[in-house]
Structure 1
Amino acid sequence: MSTLDALERCARETREYVGARVTRATSPPSALAFAMAHIAANVPLLTANATTHWRAHDAWRANEGVMEDFGGPDAVVEVNATPNGRGDAVHRVEKDGWARLGTGTRCETTGRGETRDAFDAFVEPAKREMTIKELFESLEDGAGTGTAWYLSGQNDNLRSSEALARAGARNDFDVPFAREAFASVGKAGRDGLGEAVNLWIGNDASQTSYHQDFYENIYTVVRGTKVFSLRPPCDVFDMRATEAVRGVFETDDALSWRIKLRPSFEPRVVWSAVDLDPVTGEPIFGDDDALRYRRPRPEPCFDVEVRAGETLYIPAMWFHRVRQKGIAIAVNSWFDMHFGDRYATRPLWEPSRRSMSSSSVTLA
C-alpha cells in the first residue's frame, strides 16, 4: 500500500468515526461529558439553551438595542469592506493584472511586477470606520451599495475595541459548560471567556472561505442564522491548498475597487482555493454542493444551520466555511487547543501543495 493510499484509508476511517452528522442537543452537556465526547474526540456539537442568561438575546433583537449597548447610534466601529463579500480569501489574478471577483466582474491590481502567468492572491478586506447606525443601514440596503460590509474580528474585538468593549461590559458572554471544561485543563483564558471573544455582524452578502483555526471555537448566534460547512482535518486532501501572494482590497470615494499586492519578500499564505473554479479562476458562491464536483474526492461536508440562541462547537483544526441568512449577529470565543499528537502528525496529512508559480512573480 502506498503512503497516499494509506492516508486516504485513514481519512475514510476517520470519517466513519466522526459520523454522518453533527450532534444536536436541546440542552448543553455537562462540562465532563463535553470534554470527553467532543473536545477529546475532536467532534463538533450544536446545542440549544446554553446561553439563555445572555441579555443580548433579547436586547439585540432590534438594531436600537445594539446601538444603545455600543454607546448610541453615533458610536464608531471598524468594519471590513469588499466588492464581492470575499475578504480573507483567494482570488485569481490574470496575466493582464486583473483579478476575478465573480459574476464576470474584475478589478485591477497594483504593486505587481512582470509575470507571464496567472497566480493566486490571498486578499484581505479593506478597513473602514463608520457609525454603528450606518453599518445597520448598509446591511439592510443589501447589495444596493455595491459593497459588502462585515463587522468581523479575530482580534478579541469585544475586549479590545472601545465601542465593542462597551457592549461587552454590558453583557455576559459566558458559556458555562465550555468554560468549565476548558478551565479543568487550564485553557479558560482571560476571565474564563477564552483567549479571544469576537463579535460578528453581517448579512448574506458576505461569506467566510474555508479555513482552519488552531483554537477550540465556541460560536453562539444571537440574532439571525449562520450556515456552517464543516470538514474534519482529514479532508485536507480536498481543500486544494495554494500558496498565494498577499494582497488587500482598496477603494476610493467613488467605490472603484483594486487589489494592492504586497512585496514579494513577505511570506506567502497557504489557503484553500476550493471555492475558485480550477479552470477559470472564477469565485464560486452559494452552498457547498456548488464546490463538490471540483474536488478530487468530493466527500460531503457537515452543513449546520445555527439559529439564534444556539451554540456550535467547532473543534480545533476543523475546516469551516461560513455564510449568513439575512442580517446575523454572533459572538464566538477561542480557547487554546492542546498541541499534542494531533498537531504533531499534521504534516503527514498535508498534500503536495501547488507550485508557487511556474514563472517568477516579482512584486515591488
Structure 2
Amino acid sequence: MRHISLNRPFVVRSYASSWPASQLWSASYLSSALGTQPVNVALTPHGNADSVIDVGGKGEGKLFVQPYERSEPFTSAMQYIQAQELGGPAQHKNRPTRYLQTQNDNLRSEYTALFSSVPPSIPFAHIALQKQPDAINFWLGNSHSVTALHKDNYENIYVQVRGKKHFVLLPPVESVCVDERGVLAATYKPRQREGSAESEEKEEDLNNLIPHVTEPHTYTPFALWDPDTPPSDDRGTRFSHLSQPMRVTLDEGDMLYLPALWYHKVSQSCNEEGICCAVNYWYDLEFGGSFWSMANFIRGVGLLSPAKSGG
C-alpha cells in the first residue's frame, strides 16, 4: 500500500505460481478449453500494433497505426502464433504477426472459459485502491510482437503466466523526454486485389497489410521516442538523453504493479511451446487527487518545450 500511495512500481516474484492458470495453461489446455471459438485477432506486418510509423521519406510524415482486426477460431490463431515462433523466419517471411490482445475485459467475456483459473480481483490492490477491477484481460502472442512506449489511465496489475515479458518503464515526470505529439491516426488493412470485393478476403491478402488513414482525420497523442534508441532529429526531445529507464523482466508466475500514467514499452519471449501468455487487471485511476493534475501539468510543460536545444 505504501508503494501504491507513492505511485511506485514493484514486482512480486512467483506471486501467481499457485494460481490454477499457472498450473494449467499449456497450449493443449488452452486449445481444449477454447477450441474453435471465434476470437478477435490483431494483425500487423511487423508486430507493431498501436505504434508510430514513418511514411514517405525520413521526417516527411508519421502515422499512428492500429492493427487490422478480424475474427478467427482460437485454435487456428494459436497454431499460427506457435508456427511463426517455432518454424523459423523463412516459413513466415512477409506474413503478418498475430496477437490476441483485446483490452475490453475479454477474460470475463471473450475468454470466459478461462476466467475460473484466475482470481476475480487482486486482494492487496482491492484494499489499497478501494475498488474492483474495471477490466481483466487475456494476452497471447509471440516474440514478434512489441508494444511501443505508451501510458494508460489505469493502475495495472500484470501477471505473467507463460513465457516472459520485458518491460522498459519511465515515470510520468519523464514525459518531457518521450516527445509526445498528436499523430494522424490510421489502421492497417489488406491491399485489395484488383477486381475483388472486400468480402472476398483471402489469407494471401493478409500478407500485404498497408496503413489507411482514418476518416474523418483524427490525431492521437502518442510518444514518438523509443527509449531503446538514441534521440534523433525527428524522434526525441532535448531532454531525452537525460531519461533513466527502469528495466524489468517478468518470469512465469511473477506479478508487476505498474502505476497509472507510467510510460512502458513491452517485448516478450516465448516458452518451449512457442507462446507468451499473460493476464492483467486494470483498476481505474483516481482522478480526484493531486497526482492526476500534477502529471498533466508536467506533460503540458513538456509539450510546450522546444523539441531540440536549437529550437
Root-mean-square deviation (CA, aligned residues, Å) is 2.1
CA–CA distance in structure 1, aligned partners of residues 134 and 188 of structure 2? 28
1:270 pairs with 2:221: yes
Residues 18-39 of structure 1 show CA distances to partners (whole Å, capped at 9, x for unaligned) of xxxxxxxxxxxxxxxxx22x11
Name the structure 1 match of 2:309: none
CA–CA distance in structure 1, aligned partners of residues 291 and 69 of structure 2? 35
- Which of the residues 24, 31, 39 maps onto 1:67? 31
Contact 1:90 1:273 in 2 (8 A): yes
1:175 pairs with 2:122: yes
Name the structure 1 match of 2:81: 139
Residues 195-230 of structure 1 show CA distances to partners (whole Å, capped at 9, x for unaligned) of 000111011100101111111000000011000000
Q: Decide whether aligned partners of structure 1 residues 293 and 92 sit closer, same or farther in structure 2, where only a CA change above 3 A counts.
A: closer
Name the structure 2 match of 1:55: 20
Which residues in structure 2 correspond to 1:210-289 (within 5 Å)? 210-251=149-190, 253=202, 254=204, 255-263=207-215, 265-275=216-226, 288-289=227-228
1:341 pairs with 2:290: yes
CA–CA distance in structure 1, aligned partners of residues 231 and 220 of structure 2? 25
Partner SS for 1:167: helix
- Where structure 1 has 5 or more consecutive residues not aligned to the other structure, the ranges are 1-34, 101-116, 189-193, 276-287, 356-364
CA–CA distance in structure 1, aligned partners of residues 269 and 16 of structure 2? 21
- Where structure 2 has 5 or more consecutive residues not aligned to the other structure, the ranges are 191-200, 307-311
1:332 pairs with 2:277: no
Give the AA of the match of 2:208: S
Note the C-alpha offset of 1:354.
9.6
Give the AA of the match of 1:319: Y
Using structure 1 for the length normalisation, give the TM-score: 0.70
Contact 1:79 1:149 in 2 (8 A): yes
Which residues in structure 2 correspond to 1:1-364 (within 5 Å)? 35-36=1-2, 38-60=3-25, 62-70=26-34, 72=35, 74-94=36-56, 118-142=60-84, 143=89, 144-145=91-92, 146-161=95-110, 164-169=111-116, 171-183=118-130, 187-188=131-132, 194-251=133-190, 253=202, 254=204, 255-263=207-215, 265-275=216-226, 288-289=227-228, 291-294=229-232, 295=236, 296=238, 297-298=240-241, 299-326=243-270, 327-339=275-287, 340-350=289-299, 351-352=302-303
The count of aligned residue pairs is 273
CA–CA distance in structure 1, aligned partners of residues 160 and 173 of structure 2? 27
